[in-house]
A and B are shown apart, each in its own frame.
Chain A
Amino acid sequence: MAQLTDARSLGAAPDLSEHQRASLSGRIVQALRGKPGLTTGLLLLPGTLWMLLTVGTALVSIVVFSFWTSGFTGLRPEYTLANYQSLLRPGSSFWGITVWTLQVVAMLLIGVILLAYPVSYTLWRVIKSPYWKSALLLLFIVPFWTSYLTRTITWLPMFGREGVVNQVLMGLRITDEPVEVLLYSEFSMMVALWFLFIVFMVGPIYFSMQRIDEDIMSAAAVYGASPWKTFFLVVVPLTLPGLMAGSLFVVVLGLAEFFTERAIGGAQSPMLAGLIQRQIDVFQFAGASAIAVVLILITLALVGLMLRFFDIRRI
């Protein structure tokens, strides 16, 4: 008899004693028995509530604020479409800034991909010693743990008029005068962005390269593919999941980028996120919210497009 009970309890919830049956938890277990859907729902509930409370509240507030009116003392709950009308009217600077934002994100993505592939490939196949592999990979990952602001600000003493790079260039007599384009230019902003974001691409690409079977690489060589052909026809297709994961990071975070443009780009060519900040600087909270809503929609559209093009579940 005892054995029979054991065998049955392997497949089902154990039989409860009278004491357990009477307790609250015992009654919950009884009520959920044989209802896996309800159990799953209950397990998801705390996380869902937390997300709704934090992200959800913030999102809803921004959407609501975008229909309010900005006043000298702050937001007034007077509903209006004026924020969107002035933002989206033909000839508004919003359009140019949106195009510029998309351009920057595109250049950022392309640059980061072009930089990340050689770096990942070198880490994967050129460097043989596992010691050096981990050391170099760590060099890429440590900045990831450093504050974003710190990483940006360290560019200033490097690339300023009196910065390290100019000192070296002038010391070596490569130039007579400090090179100005190194700081406070669109070029310097782009360079800084590439180096800020490369970590998001090197990681995923390197890890998906590591998953390529050594025999697959040998097979490519044996069947006539030179190292270049192997790279483009075998390695790149097989690292698309990593490329996609990295691209999602870069696009989403790139669209939200505002600080680099200010600190290193010289605050001359804001992107959408920078525009939000400038609105807030002059207390235009409603206008800022409207831009934020549009930026969120653009982000969602781009992410949706990327996911349509590539199934994230394959990663």
Chain B
Amino acid sequence: MDGYDVELRNATKRFGDVVAVDDVDLAVKTGEFVSIIGPSGCGKTTTMRMIAGLDQPDSGEIIIRGKPMQGVPPYERNVALVFQSFALFPHLDVLGNVEFGLRMHGVDKTSRRERARRALRTVGLEGFEKRRVGQLSGGQRQRVALARALVVEPALILLDEPLGSLDARLRVDMQSELKSLQQQLGITFIHVSHNQGEALAMADRIVVMNEGRFEQIDPPADIYGSPRTRFVAQFVGTNNIFEGPVAGADGNRLTVSTPAGDLVVAANGAAAGRDRLSFVVRADRVRWLEDGRSADNELPATVLAIEYTGSLSTISLSLPSGELVKMEQHESLLRHRAPRHGETLRVGWDAGDGFVLPDA
């Protein structure tokens, strides 16, 4: 029990017939940065609202710093929440917003002023005390919202899509700032987002959520490299998923008859004794085999689309069987020879690039 700031035990929440959060368990260590990611409607916001006390679980428990939170209203929980809309009080100035929590907890004026100023300094908004909220930019509002959360020294800070309303450039800056701030202060963060990039960049552990359930709880590298379910493989990163019966085994290598043809994949613990399986090949593991280079799996593929995203390009390819494959190539590799629409390339990957999914 010690060392955990939040624990969810079999927490379940229904809205009418819909099970928004379905029997989830999670224990967040003190000082940990946990991201809950999933598509919209997966229950991540409800999970967060239950921790904050804005929604009550229908069954199961929520424990904050060892205390069961059953029946404890939000205003007695010592949990802070940074809203996507920022939810700053429009009738108060910046200082008034930041010291609101301290005022509610009866901290005297002198010390709450001082603590609010310190929090504003932490988020880089010194000198903004008297500004009205309406005069601030999106990024500044975000910082005020963050200062308002930090100043109450909460057991944990919940962040609901905190970067969702910021423009792309600011989002990347805030992302690294949030992470370093969290490490510096050692406060537990639970961050909720539909953006896997944010989670991969900031979190110590990622919870992937789908249809009210936690699909996988692991460090970012494992979520990205070893997805446990088909859903996780589809949601995180750009992955190709192949499925079919096992046609043969050769030591550590399995041959799987997929619609795209017979493909070899390295066996792992999840593959033992299965006669049918699916495996994942990350798009960045798919290589363009030029000039006679070879791979364990080689396929001809026609270029359907090239999506240029700066340092990486994602190339959508169509196999002769009609299956689609995505290939990510670094910009430097494409500089001297870029594939063209409709061109047929030879692509491939090694058996070790495939990862057998534990589920089905």
Contact = CB atoms under 8 A, between A and B. Distances in A.
A221 B105 CA distance: 12
A218 B104 contact: no
B100 interface: yes
Which of the listed residues A213, A223, A234, A238 has the most CB atoms from chain B within 10 Å of its own CB? A223
A234 B85 CA distance: 17
Contacts of A229: 104
B85 A215 contact: yes
B152 A218 contact: no
A22 interface: no
Interface string A216-233: 101111111110010000
A238 B83 contact: no
B55 to A, nearest CB: 10
17 contacts: A213-B85, A215-B87, A218-B52, A218-B54, A219-B83, A219-B87, A219-B89, A221-B54, A222-B74, A222-B77, A222-B80, A222-B81, A223-B100, A223-B101, A224-B105, A224-B152, A225-B100
Given A223-B100, A226-B75, 19 more contacts: A215-B87, A216-B87, A216-B89, A218-B83, A219-B81, A221-B74, A222-B52, A222-B74, A222-B80, A222-B81, A223-B75, A223-B80, A223-B101, A223-B104, A223-B148, A224-B105, A225-B75, A226-B73, A234-B91
Contacts of A223: 75, 80, 100-101, 104, 148, 152
Contacts of B89: 216, 219-220, 234
A237 interface: yes
A231 to B, nearest CB: 13
Nearest to A224: B104
A8 B100 CA distance: 55
A310 to B, nearest CB: 13
A223 to B, nearest CB: 4
Nearest to B78: A224
A221 B89 CA distance: 12
Q: Which 4 A-B pairs have the closest CB atoms?
A: A224-B104, A215-B87, A223-B101, A219-B87
A224 B85 CA distance: 19
Nearest to B73: A221
Nearest to A216: B87
Contacts of A221: 53-54, 73-75
Contacts of A225: 75, 100, 104
A222 B81 CA distance: 7
B90 interface: yes
Interface in A198-223: 213, 215-216, 218-223
A98 to B, nearest CB: 36
Nearest to A236: B91
A222 B159 CA distance: 12
A238 B133 CA distance: 14
A243 to B, nearest CB: 13
Nearest to B49: A218
A291 to B, nearest CB: 41
Give the secondary structure class of A's interface: helix
B79 interface: yes
Interface string B142-163: 0000001000100000000000
Nearest to B99: A223
A224 B87 contact: no
Nearest to A218: B54
Interface in B40-71: 52-54
B27 to A, nearest CB: 22
Contacts of A216: 87, 89-90
Contacts of A215: 83, 85, 87
A280 to B, nearest CB: 47
Given A229-B104, A237-B91, A238-B91, A222 B85 contact: no
Which of the listed residues B77, B88, B100 has the most CB atoms from chain A within 10 Å of its own CB? B100
Contacts of B91: 234, 237-238, 240
A222 B53 CA distance: 8
B75 A218 contact: no
A222 B100 CA distance: 11
Nearest to A240: B91
Contacts of B100: 220, 223-225
Nearest to B52: A222
A215 B52 CA distance: 13
B83 A224 contact: no
Interface in A217-270: 218-226, 229, 234, 237-238, 240
A270 B101 CA distance: 51
A235 to B, nearest CB: 10
A221 B49 CA distance: 12
Given A219-B89, A234-B89, A224 B81 contact: no
A132 B184 CA distance: 51
A177 B142 CA distance: 67
B90 to A, nearest CB: 7
A26 B100 CA distance: 62
B104 A213 contact: no
Nearest to B160: A215
B87 A218 contact: yes
Nearest to B76: A224
A224 B90 contact: no
A229 B91 CA distance: 15
Contacts of B104: 223-225, 229
Contact of B75 (A213, A224, A234, A237): A224
Given A215-B83, A219-B87, A224 B101 contact: yes
B87 A213 contact: yes
B116 to A, nearest CB: 12
Interface in B102-139: 104-105
Contacts of B101: 223-224
A229 B87 CA distance: 17
Interface string B246-279: 0000000000000000000000000000000000
Contacts of B88: 219
A215 B86 CA distance: 8
Contacts of A226: 73, 75
